[in-house]
Amino acid sequence: MAVEVKIPAVGESITSGVVSIWHKKSGEFVNEGETLFTLETDKVSTEIVAEKAGLLETKVPEGQEVKIGEVVATIDDSKERPAEKKVPEAKKAEKPPEKKKEPVEKKREPEAVEKTVEEGEKKPPPEEEKPLSPAVRHIVEEEKLEPEKIPGTGRSGRLTKADVLAAVQERGKAEEKVEAREVEPSANGRFIRKKMSPLRRKIAQQLVMAQHTAAILTTFNECDMSAVQELRSKAQEEFTKKNGVKLGLMSFFVKACVEALKAVPVVNGRIEDDDFIQNNFYDIGVAVGTERGLVVPVLRDADKKSFAELEQAIADFAARAREGKLKIEDLQGGTFTITNGGVYGSLFATPILNPPQSGILGMHKIMPRPVAVDGKVEVRPMMYLALSYDHRAIDGKEAVTFLVKVKECIEEPKKLLLDF
């Protein structure tokens, strides 16, 4: 019986996706629970697994856009996995009865068949994991490969450096194939036209919607980063050794924003039709840039997390975003967003709201600038801050008060709970 493989519902408002990579090819036998293909949607990439074991027949090629519920393959569960060639050899390995008297321990090698105590039969020993050379292991860990899925060409089937490098290259070709889908060069070669990815289309829709549905206004300030830089410098070694991650800037700004949201609660709310929803929890979105586009995973209950927990969560989000392994629930339900254009060198910018939220804080590059300190001119590491907000719900006074509170917390980090 042929079992249909359909595109599942993977989240609210998602109606389509792209079959980016087939991990199993048409005509291959698949086991229940094995990954069949990666579905790239406008928010995240999801691995779709086989619900039944059987023979796979694909219906759509890599790179094709598909609708939710569309049949993309079938699995014939009446078929069984082909018998392995090693089975007859294992049977031949059984020795005639008259040879059982011989001292088996002296004549067999470690790879020889074992004799079970209970059954008195001889069975092939379990295949041990093939060891990896230091060079191969380094590439496997660096590129996050699965060595058991790579065919080895070395002695006894071991992986060589060439094997893993070829696997990296093949993966790169598959990714390039997805990116290059539906590319149409112009007749004179002066430009090319290509279909936007689902994620890029979703980003475009969200940004336009934000501009059309909210009265966005931006207010600015600047903060002296001297105290935070000094604090990080003193605590960095011990913090990294204790928690396995570095003490970054983002955790300070998350903490500062939580304090500011508590001081000015309206910034932590949103407009819904004719109502205003006031959130009494603090789920802070942190914008992460990837090659596929910008995503905003959410730090749940940020007010209850320590500096270490915040940094660990941010590092985990960044890694999974780059690998396309974020889940749909990682991106939903934020109450406020922080974006850091400073990592790309931005000195000054106005961030756009992340609907339906009412506020977003923009961080920027730290630049040494002359400032007046106690009547004297000193060069200090300064950062411009930008708060974009929905003026329908938030007045200018409230926005300025919020930004001043963030500035105070950053310039005097002792006001934060320093739980290093």
Active-site residue set: 391, 395
* Residue 92: both structure tokens together: 């031949």
Q: How far apart are CA 399 and CA 392, in angstroms?
A: 12
Do the beta carbons of residue 405 and residue 264 sit within 8 Å? yes
User: What CA–CA distances, in Å, run from 362 to 172, 339, 353, 384?
Assistant: 34, 5, 10, 8
What is the number of alpha carbons within 13 Å of residue 373 lying toward its C-beta?
13
Q: How far apart are CA 143 and CA 358, in angstroms?
A: 39
What is the number of alpha carbons within 13 Å of residue 236 lying toward its C-beta?
10
Q: How far apart are CA 334 and CA 328, in angstroms?
A: 13
Strands 284-286, 336-340: pairing is: parallel
